[in-house]
Amino acid sequence: MNTLSYKTVSVNKENANKKWYVIDAEGQILGRLATEVAMILRGKKKACFTPHSDCGDNVIIINAEKVVLTGTKMDDKYYVRYTGYPGGQRIRSVREQLQRKPIAVVEHAVRGMLPKTKLGDAIFKNLYVYEGPEHKQQAQQPIELKINTIKK
């Protein structure tokens, strides 16, 4: 009797084949960009996806200040934080946040699509966001990745 023996491979952090990707955010829609980046970071597009380990790839996002939001979200969407003091609620629109901290807008969108656990924190450390077109990871020889979204 000819029996084939297949072993299920459980990938962990040590034996995951991690690649580096660079994505240009210029003209990209924020939500669509964040979902694609979260899928790559998590490793869901890999054949060896293991849900309980960090088996995803590393992602570099450049031109974060040139990301686009559809409709009137630029003025209607708010980021709310609380300082911890009475009357310490601080509110900023996306337009203000993009002018002050464009990196935080992209990071917040991607972080919201990752697991809210220690694993999510570890996966988030594989994301590198830069305001301009330059990044510091040239030594890793990242592959340029094109995401198919509507460019304005």
User: From residue 11, how far is each of 8, 14, 113, 116, 119 by CA, in Å?
Assistant: 9, 8, 22, 21, 14
Each residue of 29-75: pLDDT tens digit? 999 999 999 999 999 999 889 999 999 999 999 999 999 999 999 99
Q: Which two tokens stand for residue 109?
A: 């969108």
* Reduced DSSP (H G I as helix, E B as strand, rest coil) percent helix, strand, coil of the chain, to 5: 30, 20, 50
Phi, psi angles (nearest 5°) of residue 144: -75, 130
CA torsion through residues 142, 137, 128, 133, sign:
negative
Contact assessment for residue 77 and residue 39, using Cβ atoms and an 8 Å cutoff: no
Predicted local distance difference test score (pLDDT) of residue 149: 56
Predicted local distance difference test score (pLDDT) of residue 114: 97
Domain boundaries, the chain: 20-144
Cα dihedral 151→79→72→128 (10° resolution): 0
Q: 36: how many CB neighbours lie within 10 A of its CB?
A: 20
For 108-121, letters b (16+ CB in 10 Å) and e give: ebbbebbeeeeebe
Predicted local distance difference test score (pLDDT) of residue 14: 84
5-9, 75-79, 147-151: range with lowest mean pLDDT = 147-151
Q: What is the CATH number of domain 20-144?
A: 3.90.1180.10
Each residue of 112-140: pLDDT tens digit? 999 999 999 999 999 999 999 999 999 99
Predicted local distance difference test score (pLDDT) of residue 106: 97
Where would I find the H helices in 43-132? 73-76, 94-100, 102-111, 118-124
Residue 12 — pLDDT band, cuts 50, 70, 90? confident
Percent of the chain with pLDDT over 90: 82
Question: Is the pLDDT at 151 greater than 60, yes or no?
Answer: no
Question: Is the pLDDT at 2 greater than 80, yes or no?
Answer: no
Residue 9 — pLDDT band, cuts 50, 70, 90? confident
